[in-house]
Structure 1
Amino acid sequence: MKKVVQVLCVVLIGVAVMIGFRWYRYVASSDTPYDEVGITLNGYMPGPLRSWGCHKLRERFPGALPPYGCAAPDGRSWA
């Protein structure tokens, strides 16, 4: 039983690292702010990380419309 729990923990940590890396790659070095996977992952991040991600995207793409999750209520300006 102990071995099963250990393997499960390693798998969960591995998945979390892979998802976190994919999200960070979207925020820090994506060619476009409209990457569907990146937008979805950003939407699942906790509030402070999502806010940081949106701020980073805004710095990188100042003239672009904000992606879903980073828009103000009007949908055309950054939150």
Structure 2
Amino acid sequence: MKKIVQVLCVVLISVAVMTGLRWYRYVASSDTPYDEVGITLNGYMPGPIRSWGCHKLQERFPRALPPYGCAGPDGRSWA
């Protein structure tokens, strides 16, 4: 039983790390702010982390329309 719990913990931690790294790669070095996987992962992030990610994307793509989840009320300005 202890071995099953240990394996489960390792799998869960591995998935969390891989997901976090994929999200960070989208925010910090993506070629476009419209990467579907990145937008989805950003949407699942907690509020402060999502806000930081949107701010980082806005710094990198100042003239682009914001992706879903980073748009203001009008849909054309950054939140």
TM-score, normalized by length of structure 1? Answer: 0.99
Partner in structure 2 of residue 9 of structure 1: 9
- Across the aligned residues of Structure 1 and Structure 2, the Cα RMSD in angstroms comes to 0.3
SS at match of 1:32: coil
TM-score, normalized by length of structure 2? Answer: 0.99
Distance (whole Å) between structure 1 residues aligned to residue 24 and residue 64 of structure 2:
19
Partner in structure 1 of residue 75 of structure 2: 75
Corresponding position: 1:20 with 2:31: no
Letter of the structure 2 residue corresponding to residue 40 of structure 1: T
- Consecutive unaligned residues in structure 1, runs of 5 or more: none
- Consecutive unaligned residues in structure 2, runs of 5 or more: none
Partner in structure 2 of residue 36 of structure 1: 36
Q: Percent identity?
A: 90
Distance (whole Å) between structure 2 residues aligned to residue 46 and residue 2 of structure 1:
31
- How many residues are paired up? 79
